[in-house]
């Protein structure tokens, strides 16, 4: 949560969500999660952000169901691509990173409540072939968290990025964290059979890049290759007709030439980012709201996002901006 949102959060709690939805004229809400914690510890996640517990997740869903109608990806696509309006406020739920809990914990809950969802997968991580570099960081922190004077090392680890993967791997060796062993033993990601089971139960599948880089750190050619390769993998391996893509981390720093290329090549029908409730000049690019936010409840996150949107509206700051070109 940024500083402004933290200030707005207690104020927003005093306002009715239904009124803010009406005032904002934003009938579409796009919440997303990564995982939901059951009885097992999630050391690869817990030092990055606090995943919702099963009870917290269900409370968030029940709160949204009071104010919104859950819609499928097909209905969302018709709304965006065919300009079919919603009669009622609606939400489409999604999950990033393809973690196994979405099959083991999330799917039964969604089926029980009748909520459609889209699961965005990193092609390199499916079947536990590789481990996201930030999850490696969390595992190292989990190993050293109780050691004396570990704070500076933890701070350093949390600052490392995609291009620092060799450094992260070296830290793993130094502190005795075997990432391959963790992958084999814990199987943190969905396997192909679980993905097919999600599809058979009516859920949608999308791409989330090959191995989760910050797109701002990539050249235009690398951005396009990550996007195309992951979309192709999903289509080829799971017979998926939808072409939808969610940016890893955020679309911040991604220029117009990327979107122009995606459109000209017809790679993705819809793309998704994570800027909260926001408008975009490109109608096929949609902004989602992360629901794992420092232990905040779903109601608090929702109300804060709507109040933030309303306050920015008079200043004309609710429209995403992308300028300039990139070098290939």
Looking at the fold, whether 67 and 168 belong to one and the same domain comes out as no
Q: What is the mean pLDDT of each run of 10 residues along the chain (328 residues)?
A: 85 96 97 96 96 97 98 98 95 98 98 98 98 98 96 98 98 98 98 98 98 97 98 97 96 95 96 96 96 92 97 90 59
Q: Distance between CA 168 and CA 219 in Å, rounded?
A: 22
Looking at the fold, whether 10 and 36 belong to one and the same domain comes out as yes
Is residue 327 in some structural domain?
A: no
Q: Is 249 left (phi over 0), alpha (psi -120 to 50) or beta?
A: left
Looking at the fold, whether 23 and 93 belong to one and the same domain comes out as yes
Q: Which domain holds residue 140?
A: 132-187
For the chain, the domain total comes to: 2
Looking at the fold, whether 138 and 125 belong to one and the same domain comes out as no
Provide the pLDDT for residue 295.
83
Pairing of strands 244-246, 270-273: parallel
- Within 10 angstroms of residue 37's Cβ, the number of other Cβ atoms is 18
The CATH number linked to 221 is 3.20.20.370
Looking at the fold, whether 111 and 146 belong to one and the same domain comes out as no
Looking at the fold, whether 218 and 244 belong to one and the same domain comes out as yes
Q: Residue 322: CB partners within 8 Å, gap ≥ 6?
A: 254, 255, 256, 259
Are 71 and 84 in contact by the 8 Å Cβ rule? The answer is no
Is residue 326 in some structural domain?
A: no
Encoded tokens for 325:
């070109």
* Alpha-carbon radius of gyration of the chain: 20
Is residue 298 in some structural domain?
A: yes
Q: Distance between CA 39 and CA 50 in Å, rounded?
A: 14
| CA-closest candidate to residue 89, choices 19, 142, 155, 13 | 19
Looking at the fold, whether 116 and 246 belong to one and the same domain comes out as yes
Is residue 325 in some structural domain?
A: no
Is residue 245 in some structural domain?
A: yes
Looking at the fold, whether 17 and 142 belong to one and the same domain comes out as no
Looking at the fold, whether 221 and 309 belong to one and the same domain comes out as yes
Q: Distance between CA 97 and CA 120 in Å, rounded?
A: 6
Q: What is the 3-state secondary structure (H, E, C) of 152-192?
A: HHHHHHHHCCHHHHHHHHHHHHHCCCCHHHHHHHHCCECCH
Looking at the fold, whether 23 and 139 belong to one and the same domain comes out as no
Looking at the fold, whether 102 and 116 belong to one and the same domain comes out as yes
Provide the pLDDT for residue 1.
55
Looking at the fold, whether 174 and 308 belong to one and the same domain comes out as no
Encoded tokens for 38:
């059951």
User: pTM, whole model, 2 decimals?
Assistant: 0.96
Is residue 321 in some structural domain?
A: no
Provide the pLDDT for residue 240.
95
Residue 160 to residues 140, 179, 180, 214, 302, Cα–Cα distance (Å): 12, 17, 20, 11, 30
């Amino acid at each position: 949560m940024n500083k402004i949102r933290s200030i707005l959060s207690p104020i927003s709690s005093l306002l009715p969500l239904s009124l803010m939805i009406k005032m904002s004229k934003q009938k579409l809400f796009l919440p997303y999660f990564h995982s939901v914690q059951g009885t097992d510890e999630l050391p690869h996640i817990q030092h990055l952000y606090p995943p919702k517990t099963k009870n917290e997740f269900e409370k968030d869903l029940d709160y949204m169901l009071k104010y919104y109608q859950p819609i499928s990806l097909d209905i969302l696509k018709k709304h965006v691509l065919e300009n079919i309006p919603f009669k009622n406020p609606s939400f489409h739920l999604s999950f990033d990173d393809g973690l196994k809990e979405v099959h083991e914990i999330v799917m039964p809950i969604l089926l029980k409540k009748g909520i459609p969802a889209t699961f965005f997968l990193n092609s390199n991580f499916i079947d536990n072939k590789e481990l996201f570099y930030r999850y490696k960081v969390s595992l190292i922190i989990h190993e050293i968290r109780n050691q004396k004077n570990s704070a500076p090392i933890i701070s350093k680890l949390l600052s490392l990025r995609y291009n620092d993967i060799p450094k992260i791997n070296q830290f793993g060796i130094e502190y005795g964290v075997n990432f391959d062993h963790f992958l084999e033993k814990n199987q943190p990601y969905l396997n192909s059979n679980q993905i097919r089971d999600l599809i058979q139960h009516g859920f949608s599948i999308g791409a989330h890049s090959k191995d989760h880089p910050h797109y701002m750190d990539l050249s235009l050619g690398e951005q396009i290759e990550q996007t195309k390769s992951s979309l192709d993998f999903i289509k080829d391996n799971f017979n998926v007709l939808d072409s939808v893509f969610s940016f890893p981390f955020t679309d911040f720093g991604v220029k117009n030439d990327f979107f122009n290329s995606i459109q000209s090549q017809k790679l993705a029908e819809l793309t998704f980012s994570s800027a909260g409730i926001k408008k975009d000049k490109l109608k096929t690019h949609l902004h989602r709201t992360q629901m794992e936010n420092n232990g905040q409840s779903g109601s608090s996150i929702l109300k804060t996002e709507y109040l933030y949107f309303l306050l920015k509206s008079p200043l004309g700051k609710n429209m995403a901006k992308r300028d300039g070109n990139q070098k290939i």
